[in-house]
Amino acid sequence: MKKILAPVVGTLGAGVIILSGISNFTDADNPFSSSYSSSASDASPLTTPSSKTNTTNIPDVKTLGLVAINYKLFHLDQLASNQIAFWIEDDQGHYVKTLRASSFTAGGGYKIRPDALPEWRKISNWSKASKAEVERVKLPEQGTGNHVIYWDCTDASGKAVKPGTYIYKAEGNIYWQNRVIFTGKLTIGKKNAKSTAQVVYKPADARSHGVLLENVHAGFDSGKSIAAVKQDPATRTQGS
């Protein structure tokens, strides 16, 4: 039996730690160490974790292919700007899926800045988005330059969409309520396709406050998988 005097923990920790059955504690191999298993063989003697039968949200659907949306982003050094969102609608203007949206707005920043990305928030009914959906679309700050995001041709529930014409949209906040909207159409099916989005500023003189997005264009690669491309963002480490 080995006793380890607990160091400076006042009255909050254990006064003395007693370990029996081991002679060298600090550098010893962990006697219980094993490769992990999610089987029931290591069930707690107290309870069986309920999640052992959970299924996971792994995308496993056959889709038509992959849409790559390219854009050039500029950083505007001013208040209430630099928020962007990309989403898909069908040819009737019905919402299909959000691809990415700036972390601040997607994560609830619109509650303190109601001017943020109103068109996207309205059509996506974003205030009702699930936590998982919010985490999926959050786009960290990107630097000035060319970027690409992908649509794997699934809808918001993860199901493959049918062949047809779809609308891709990008909205950006230039300065408070001054925004830019890009809209492009793309037909997806058995053939590859390309298109360039048209730009509208809201209000019309919004461009005078700066250029946030330009050269938004998309390409459809029939049969290509999302697994074949490198996706933004890079992994990050943040405080936990």
Cβ atoms of residues 179 and 172 within 8 Å: yes
Which one, 50 or 125, has the nearer CB to another protein?
A: 50
Residue 118, Ramachandran bin (φ over 0: left; ψ between -120 and 50: alpha; else beta): alpha
132: contact with another protein by CB under 8 A: yes
Interface size with another protein, residues (CB under 8 A):
66
- Rounded Cα distance between 147 and 170, Å, is 13
| Of the candidate residues 62, 128, 190, 236, the single one contacting another protein (CB under 8 A) | 236
Residues from 30 through 49 that contact another protein (CB under 8 A): 30-36, 38, 42-47, 49
Partners of residue 69 on adjacent β-strands = 149, 218
Least Å from the CB of residue 226 to another protein? 7
108: contact with another protein by CB under 8 A: no
Q: What is the dihedral of CA 69, 89, 74, 132, to 10 degrees?
A: -90
The rounded Cα 239 to chain-centroid distance in angstroms is 18
Q: Burial letters for 85-113: b for 16+ Cβ neighbours within 10 Å, e otherwise?
A: bbbbbeeeeebbbbbbbbbbbbeeebeee
| Beta carbons within 8 Å of 73's beta carbon, 6+ residues apart | 84, 142, 143, 144, 145, 146, 147, 212, 213
Which one, 103 or 195, has the nearer CB to another protein?
A: 103
Least Å from the CB of residue 22 to another protein? 5
Least Å from the CB of residue 21 to another protein? 4
Which one, 22 or 200, has the nearer CB to another protein?
A: 22
Cβ atoms of residues 204 and 103 within 8 Å: no
| Of the candidate residues 21, 146, 190, 205, the single one contacting another protein (CB under 8 A) | 21
23: contact with another protein by CB under 8 A: no
Mark residues 86-105: x for contact with another protein by CB under 8 A, - for none. Answer: ----------------xxx-
Binding site for another protein (CB under 8 A): 4, 6-22, 25-26, 30-36, 38, 42-47, 49-52, 54, 56-60, 102-104, 131-132, 135-136, 140-141, 226-227, 229-231, 233-240
